[in-house]
Each structure stands twice: as structure tokens, then as C-alpha cells.
Amino acid sequence: MKKNTLKLLAVAFLISSTTVVFNSCSDNDDDEVVVTPGTGIAADPNNFKGEVKSGETVTLDATKVYKLTGAVAVKAGGTLVIPAGTKIEASGGTSAYITVEQDGKIFANGTAAAPIVMTSPNPTPGSWGGLVICGKAPINKGTTATAEVGNATYGGTNAADNSGIIKFVRIEYAGAIYQADKEFNGLSLFGVGNGTVIDNVSLINGSDDGIEFFGGTVNVSNIVSVYNEDDAFDWTEGWNGTATNIYTKRRANGVGNRGIEADNNSNDNNANPRSNPTIKNATFIGGTTGEADAVKLRVGTHGSLDNIVLSNWTTGINLEHDATVSFFNGGGKITNVKFDTNVATKASAKSSAGASVTVAAGTFTENANATGAGAGTATPTWANGWAGL
């Protein structure tokens, strides 16, 4: 086993102890990897910002609170380790965010009992920029592109690209719209590959989308996205992955937009790779003001959705643009939907020209026993405690 591989294994299984030693199984049995918290940009928890450079592993200390005062960039060949129970408090608005660049790694290994919390001392949406991951998986905006946040490159040809692990992480009060085409979300996934693990992540009280996929192939599970001011769950640029167990809710005062906003490519609705994810076990609780679609599928996206609970929306399923309407209309790609309460229109469709299209029989199937994220409109058991609900 090579030394670089050993270092990644050591980091991936790191817990919150002060020093962790892993013995190698290489030809030299005396090889050891020692990871010590408090080095590099982690040395001053009250001024946490800067770069994790190539060949450097920066490990946070779960007993300290890290004040994110500016941007953190994990460069190619760098590794950021965030142990279970670590708290990061961000200030400085959109100048404070964490970006993992291509070939950088993040190992944020929280637990249900000790989640990692990324928050702000100012409990207001838009207080910081959120978490951004940039990978080398395919996108349809070009072979590569530049991320809206951090100006990092993303995209490529490696569907299995691995940016690390994000488990039991809660992201609060992030996101902002500071230009028409530049937006911070709670968690932004740019060309992230399916070698990356994203499991049990909560996005709460953000000022833009909770989670957004810009192409890539990453799979996610156990996602909470509640009280965000734009869409709860968003994809574009050719995302091809699976999302299992999604629980979303708009604020009671009506602030917020859609449950799902799903795009392929607005400049070329048939661009490849085409967005074509699988969504299973999802609950979308909404409102009837603003953009009040539970599920909006448009500009060429494909996909399949199963076991979906929709509650309190003006429109349950909204299809737009020819390339999307022709795929979903009558195609049986949306199955086992429960329209729980107060959904005025179950489904609608419009052509690219804006003309109304009749929603054909078989476009969706209903199931009054659908459980969505696991408990209908109630908080699912898998989100108890760690998610901050």
C-alpha cells in the first residue's frame, strides 16, 4: 500500500482524538502517519481562513470553536479534516465560505450524537457563503467551467471522482444572491463525482437554495432542507445521481420558493450529459405564495421520482419546455405521489413557447399510502436530533 493512500485512509477514519497514529502495511512496517490538530490555518481558531495547500492536512479540534473570518480554500492535494462535534462559526457575509477545489479533499465525519455544525453567530439568512465542493465529474456547460463561488474550476470526465466525505453536517444561515448569475447556497456541488460520500446533511435558514447540484454524478442520502429563502433542492448542468430520503419545508410566513427546481441547460435544453437523476422517498412541504411549485421540472431535465409526499402548494408538479414535457408527459416517470393537503393543481405543463399542454394520463401515479421521507409530513426518524429541527 502506498503512503499517499495510507494518508487518505488515516484521514477518512479520523476521530476527534488529539493525535491519531496509523501503522502502515507497506513493505516498511515502521511507516506511520501522524495527524495532529491545530496546524496550518487551524492554528488560530479565532481567525480561521486561508488555504490548505497541496500535500498539507489541516485537522480541526472538536473541542474548539472555529471562527471563519474569510474564505477557506482546500487546494488540489490538500486535505481538510473536520472531526465529529466540531463547530464552525462564520462571519463576514459572502467573503466567508469553504471551498474544496478539484483534487482537494474534505473529511467532515460527524455522527448523529455529535454532528458537525457550520453556523453563524448572527442567526440571519445570508450571514456567510456556505460550503462549496468542486469535482471532476461531467457537466454540460462545457468540459470544465468556473464555479459561482470561489472562482474554482469544476467539471471533467471522471464520473467516479472523489472529493471526500460529508456526514452528519448541519449548515445554517448560509447563502446569498449577490449578482443575478452568482449565488451562494447552503451546499453547492459543482461537478462532484460519485466517489464522494454525502449522507445526513441539513441545510437550514439559508437565503438562497438549500442544496444545488451543478452537473456531476454524486449520490446523496438523508438530506434536510428547511426554511431556505429560495428552492430547497436544485439541480442543473447535467446532474446524474441518486437522492434518497429528502425532507424539505418552507417557512410558515410564506418566504421561500419551490421544493425542487430542476434544469438541464437553459441555453441548450438537449445538452449532454442530460440531467437525469433518481429521486426516491421525498417530502416537500410548501406555501402558496411566490413560486409555489412543489416540483418544477424544466429546460430539458429528465429524471425519475418515486414515493413523494406533497403538501400545501399551488401546483404539485409543473413541467415546462418541450424537451422536458415530452419526456415526462404520460411517461410514468413520477410514481407513488401523495397529494397530502392543500395542493390546488396536481400537475400542469407548458411548451417552450409558453402554451399550455394537457397533462396526459400516466404522467404520475398516486398512492395515498406514500410515506415520502419516511413519516409523511412529519419529521422522519432519521433526522431526529442532529438535523436541528
pLDDT tops 80 at residue 370 = yes
Of 38-42, 46-50, 237-241, 362-366, least confident by mean pLDDT is: 38-42
Determine the Cα angle at 40 with ends 38 and 44, to 5°.
Answer: 55
Residue 16, pLDDT score: 39
Residue 179, pLDDT score: 60
Most confidently modeled range among 25-39, 247-261, 277-291: 277-291
Alpha carbon 349 to chain centroid distance? 27
pLDDT in tens, 162-178: 999 999 999 999 986 66
What pLDDT band is residue 8 in, cutting at 50, 70 and 90?
very low
Residue 186 contacts residue 174 (beta carbons within 8 Å):
yes
Residue 379, pLDDT score: 97
pLDDT tops 50 at residue 290 = yes
Give the strand pairing for 176-179 and 182-184.
antiparallel
The letter for the amino acid at 114 is A
- Mean pLDDT, residues 345-350: 98
Residue 36, pLDDT score: 57
pLDDT in tens, 99-158: 999 999 999 999 999 999 999 999 999 999 999 999 999 999 999 999 988 889 999 999
pLDDT tops 90 at residue 26 = no
Element holding 9 (H helix, E strand) = helix 3-12
pTM: 0.90
- Mean pLDDT, residues 51-56: 97
pLDDT tops 70 at residue 35 = no
Q: How far apart are CA 347 and CA 265, in angstroms?
A: 22
pLDDT tops 50 at residue 6 = no
What are the distances in angstroms from CA 356 to CA 320, 321, 334, 353, 359? 9, 10, 20, 9, 9
- Mean pLDDT, residues 368-380: 98
Residue 295, pLDDT score: 98
pLDDT tops 70 at residue 64 = yes
Residue 256, pLDDT score: 87
3-state secondary structure of 67: strand
pLDDT tops 60 at residue 321 = yes
The letter for the amino acid at 48 is F
Residue 27, pLDDT score: 38
Residue 74 contacts residue 128 (beta carbons within 8 Å):
no
pLDDT tops 90 at residue 19 = no
Q: Which sign does the torsion angle of CA 325, 330, 334, 339 carry? A: positive
The letter for the amino acid at 161 is D
pLDDT in tens, 67-111: 999 999 999 999 999 999 999 999 878 899 999 999 999 999 999
- Mean pLDDT, residues 53-67: 97
Residue 91, pLDDT score: 85
Which letter, b or e, does each residue of 14-42 get, where b requires 16 or more Cβ atoms within 10 Å of its Cβ?
bebeeebebebeeeeeeeebebebeeebb
User: How many C-beta atoms surround the C-beta of residue 252 within 10 A?
Assistant: 8
Q: How far apart are CA 314 and CA 293, in angstroms?
A: 6
Q: Which sign does the torsion angle of CA 362, 363, 369, 374 carry? A: positive
User: How many C-beta atoms surround the C-beta of residue 205 within 10 A?
Assistant: 24
Residue 92, pLDDT score: 76
Q: What is the average pLDDT value for the chain, to the nearest integer?
A: 90
What are the distances in angstroms from CA 135 to CA 75, 111, 139, 146? 12, 25, 10, 11
